[in-house]
Every structure is written in C-alpha cells, then in structure tokens.
Chains A and B, each alone.
Chain A
Amino acid sequence: MTSNGTTEPEPLVRIRGLRKRYGDNEVLRGIDLDLAEGEVVCLIGPSGSGKSTLLRCVNLLETPSGGTIVAAGHDMTDPDADLDAARREIGMVFQHFNLFSHLSILDNVAIAQRRVLKTPRSEAEAEARRRLAEVGIEGKERSRPAQLSGGQQQRVAIARALAMGPKLMLFDEPTSALDPELVGEVLAVMKGLAAEGMTMLVVTHEMSFAREVADRVLFLDGGVIVESGPPAEVLTAPKTERAQSFLHRVLHPVD
C-alpha cells in the first residue's frame, strides 16, 4: 500500500475510508485508523456517534458499506477472506457479556478451543482454568453464568476471548451494563492486559480508564474522528468545540 516507511512496522489494524450506512442513515463517514502492535486506543463520543459500529466493523460483525480493513494480518474486507480464521485472532468483549447461558463457566471458556481449534478437552480445560485464574475467577468452574455477578461474568467473557490466544482485543462498552461498584474489577483486568502488551481497541465512557491506560484517545462524532491524540491532550485540552461540550457533559453531568 504505502511505500514511505520501510522501517516502520506494519500496523496490527489498518482502516482506510471506512463507511457504514443503514438505509439513508450513514453511521460511519470515512474512518482512517491505524493501531500499532501493543497500542491501546480508546474510542469516546456521544451515543450514535458510530463508535460501537466502528468496533464491530473491525471483526466484521457489521459489514462495512465501503473502505478497507486489515486486522491481525487478515484482509477483512476481501470478499474471499476467511472471516472465521480471522476472528480466532481477534477477541471481542460485549457490553452485555453474552456468555453462553446453557454452558458452565469452564465450558464457556473451553468450548471455542475445543470446537474451533480442535484442542483436546483436557488441554482446553487446563487453559480455561489458567485464563479464569488470570481474571480472578476461581472455584466457579461448575457455575452457570446467571449465578455470577455482572462483574464476574464480564471477567469470564474476557477469559473466554483470551483463551483463543488473540492478537487483538475489541471491547464494546465493557462496563456500561455493570453496577457502579463492579466496574473497578473489570477495568483492573483490562489494565493488566494492557500492561502485558495486548493491542486493545476500547469503546468506553470510563474517562479515568482512558486517561490512565490509553496510548491514544479518539473522539468520534457524527461518524467521523473529530479528535485524536494522547489522552492528556484530547481529554484535558480538547481543541474542538464538540469534544469540549461532550467532555463537559460527561465529567460534569449535573451542571
């Protein structure tokens, strides 16, 4: 594609001219975004700004209307792309956890290894236990998702994605459905993941998390990236009026 940087490493995610429309409603209107390996990028913006759609386009849960996406070495927008193979290497965490409600916690984390990677059961379960321990869930292997708190369920969902050994993790408002006192435990796990060097794209309303963990913050509005930069810049001294008013509303909701 570009011929300028031969020394520059290939980005793990490269999005060019991404568009998404539903009927007459254009939700994404030309997004360009690169994610370097190990980078943590937070997407912020008002509801309807297209940030979740952008995230869901990366692993093609939403089919883009235009533009190209390369993620974890897979040309996602190539019509002949093996999306299943690509998604194995792109973990995703959802707002509502979406744990498999008919399976035990252990099976939730082991099932995709067994059915997709064809890992033998004992091996898959050992890996599942390791991943569960990593997110601080122990002694719940036989429980059903509904028996766990929201925070615990979301940590299991993270373990489930990690068990596939992804190169990239997508988080779609991972703490928005949680009771306030459970948000911290999930953010702590994500922070640990970032510290280990995982490449992460995070849609979030947790400004303190973005400030502390993100390498870069993108402010989306009306389907375009309005501001992009280090958190100190975008969150503390936003340049555009739209970002200023959004941040003011988020940080001072009562005013």
Chain B
Amino acid sequence: MTPKQRRRLSRAVQYVVIAAVVAVLAAVADWGQIADSFFRLDLAAAMFPAVWTPFWNTIVYTLLAFVFGMIVGVPIALMRVSSFGPYRWFARVYVEIFRGLPALLVLFLVGYGVPQAFPGIQYPGGVYGQVAIGLGLTSSAYIAESVRAGIQAVPEGQVEAARSLGMSHTRTMITVVLPQALRIVIPPLTNELVMLTKDSSLVFVLGVTTATMELTKFARNELTANANATPLLVGGLLYLLLTVPLSILARRLETRGDAR
C-alpha cells in the first residue's frame, strides 16, 4: 500500500465508525422521551417573561465582578512589574492565591467566612456587593496576569522615548505604557468576561431571592418544579446568547491586533 492509499483507508474506517455510532444511538434512543425531556415548547414559553430577571441579573453580576476585577487587577499588575521588591512579592502571592483557589470557595469565604469573622459587616449593595467581591477577587488575579503580560509586551523603546522627554516613571505608565498595554489586553479581557458570565452561575450559593436570582438557579428551579429538563436548555441558550457574541468579538479584536 502506498502512503496515499493507507491514508484513504484510515479515513474511510473513521467515517464508517462514526456512521455506525450515530446509527446505533439513533436506533437505541427513545426519541419521544428525549423530545419530552428537552423540547417541551409549552414549558419553554412559560419561562417568559420571568426569565428576563435572572438573565439581567447574570449580566449585572458579571459586569460587577469584572469592574471589581479591573479596579483591583490593574494595580496588582502594576505592582507585579514594579521595581520595588515588596510590591512584586505581594502581587505575586496575591495572584497565586486567587488564581489557585476555586471561585466557589472564594465566594463562600466572602459570603459566609468574612461575615462570621467580622460580625456586623455589611457589603455595599447586599448580595451585589458580595458577588462583586466574591467573583471579582478570582477575576482580578486573571486580569492582573493578562495586564502584566500586556505591559511587558510594550516595547522598551516606548518607555525610553517617554523618559527622554522628561516624563516621570508614573507619567510614562499613564500616558504611554498603559494605553498601549490595554489595547494588547482587550482580547484576553474579553475571554475573562466569558469566563465570568459562566462563573456567575455560582452566585446561588449565597442564597438568592426571586429578585436576585441568576440564570442557572432559575433554570434549576424550573427543572425541579416541572420535573423536566427543558428549562436547562433554555437557560443554556441564553448563556450562549451572551458568550458567543463575546467570543466572536474577542476573535475579531485579536485578528485586528495582528494586522496592526
């Protein structure tokens, strides 16, 4: 057999195997049962318009955590590239901790650990404040690493040019380095937004009401109430409605970044 023939044969075998697997699944599956579990249009329709509240909450939680992550993450990134040792070490430890801990555990810590340790503590905005900090801490570690990479990707010559014009170190950072670094960092930050959108599904552990419920919790309640999985499918589609455009945007920004 020539290599070409061998390649063809192997490809043919793969097609046959895939076709066989699909055929077996189709024959064995109870299509009526599947349709009943996932595609009950009446149940899907009944979720509206109530589903818009948790949908909106998912967006709000994501953005709150992202804003908190930026507010904390950018200074951490600056500390990470600082010439002052203790800043670098602190930032390093911070990043390692919050990148290494599960988001769920951090959320528990913020939601239950901190209030226990500091009785009487009130988060601003109630559950919204808890979410911003609880999810934002994890996010800030990832954002800090992305921004640090962006800062280090700005050519040294840009800094030298700024310093040679009499700009101070801080002035150079604000005027020259950060604007260029943030541009480099937009695609990874968009990905972070996608991750946060999904992580917002953890918020239910804080104990949420109808008004503060996020999408996964809402879908799960509907699942339990109807003993049917259709609400999960609707919830999943609504997540994709948020994350797919973000992914496409991230890819666009990435290719445009290359062109420059």
| Residues of chain B within 8 A of A85, CB atoms compared | 166
Q: Which of B157, B165, B168, B176: most chain A CB closer than 10 A?
A: B165
A112 touches B165 (CB 8 A): yes
A146 at the A/B interface (Cβ < 8 Å)? yes
B96 at the A/B interface (Cβ < 8 Å)? no
| Residues of chain A within 8 A of B158, CB atoms compared | 98, 100-101
B155 to chain A, nearest CB (A): 8
Cα distance A84–B168 when bound, in Å? 6
Closest 6 CB pairs of A and B: A88-B166, A98-B161, A112-B165, A98-B157, A92-B164, A87-B166
A242 to chain B, nearest CB (A): 30
Q: Mark A155-167, 1 if CB is under 8 A from B, else 0.
A: 0010011001000
| Residues of chain A within 8 A of B167, CB atoms compared | 84, 112, 115-116
B165 touches A164 (CB 8 A): yes
B158 to chain A, nearest CB (A): 6
| Residues of chain B within 8 A of A59, CB atoms compared | 164
From B166, which residue of chain A is reached at the shortest CB distance? A88
For the complex, count residues of B whose C-beta is within 8 A of A. 19
Cα distance A216–B195 when bound, in Å? 63
B160 at the A/B interface (Cβ < 8 Å)? yes
Cα distance A55–B11 when bound, in Å? 64
B7 at the A/B interface (Cβ < 8 Å)? no
A214 at the A/B interface (Cβ < 8 Å)? no
| Residues of chain B within 8 A of A161, CB atoms compared | 164-165
Cα distance A84–B170 when bound, in Å? 11
- Given A115-B175, A116-B171, does the pair A100, B166 have CB atoms closer than 8 Å? no
Given contacts A87-B164, A100-B162, 14 further A-B contacts (CB under 8 A): A84-B166, A87-B166, A88-B165, A88-B166, A90-B164, A98-B158, A101-B180, A102-B176, A111-B175, A112-B162, A112-B167, A116-B166, A160-B165, A161-B165
From A164, which residue of chain B is reached at the shortest CB distance? B165
Q: Please, could you name 9 A-B residue pairs with CB atoms under 8 Å apart, sorted by A? A: A84-B168, A86-B166, A99-B161, A100-B162, A100-B176, A100-B180, A102-B183, A112-B167, A164-B165
Q: Mark A57-91, 1 if CB is under 8 A from B, else 0.
A: 00101000000000000000000000011111011
Cα distance A59–B157 when bound, in Å? 15
A94 at the A/B interface (Cβ < 8 Å)? yes
B75 at the A/B interface (Cβ < 8 Å)? no
A211 at the A/B interface (Cβ < 8 Å)? no
B179 at the A/B interface (Cβ < 8 Å)? yes
B6 at the A/B interface (Cβ < 8 Å)? no
A96 at the A/B interface (Cβ < 8 Å)? yes
Cα distance A204–B157 when bound, in Å? 19
- Given A100-B176, A102-B179, A102-B183, does the pair A87, B157 have CB atoms closer than 8 Å? no
Cα distance A157–B162 when bound, in Å? 11
Cα distance A161–B160 when bound, in Å? 13
Cα distance A90–B160 when bound, in Å? 13
Of residues 10 through 60 on chain B, the ones whose CB sits less than 8 Å from some CB of chain A are none
A54 to chain B, nearest CB (A): 15
B8 at the A/B interface (Cβ < 8 Å)? no
Of residues 99 through 119 on chain A, the ones whose CB sits less than 8 Å from some CB of chain B are 99-102, 111-112, 115-116
A146 touches B260 (CB 8 A): yes
Cα distance A91–B185 when bound, in Å? 31
From B157, which residue of chain A is reached at the shortest CB distance? A98
A61 touches B168 (CB 8 A): no
A94 touches B176 (CB 8 A): no
B98 to chain A, nearest CB (A): 30
A164 touches B157 (CB 8 A): no
| Residues of chain A within 8 A of B171, CB atoms compared | 115-116
Q: Which of B161, B166, B167: most chain A CB closer than 10 A?
A: B166
Cα distance A228–B120 when bound, in Å? 78
From A92, which residue of chain B is reached at the shortest CB distance? B164
A93 to chain B, nearest CB (A): 9
B163 at the A/B interface (Cβ < 8 Å)? yes
B186 to chain A, nearest CB (A): 13
Q: Which of A92, A100, A146: most chain B CB closer than 10 A?
A: A100
B260 touches A100 (CB 8 A): no
Cα distance A61–B163 when bound, in Å? 8
A219 to chain B, nearest CB (A): 26
Cα distance A111–B167 when bound, in Å? 10
| Residues of chain A within 8 A of B176, CB atoms compared | 100, 102
A94 touches B166 (CB 8 A): no
B168 touches A94 (CB 8 A): no
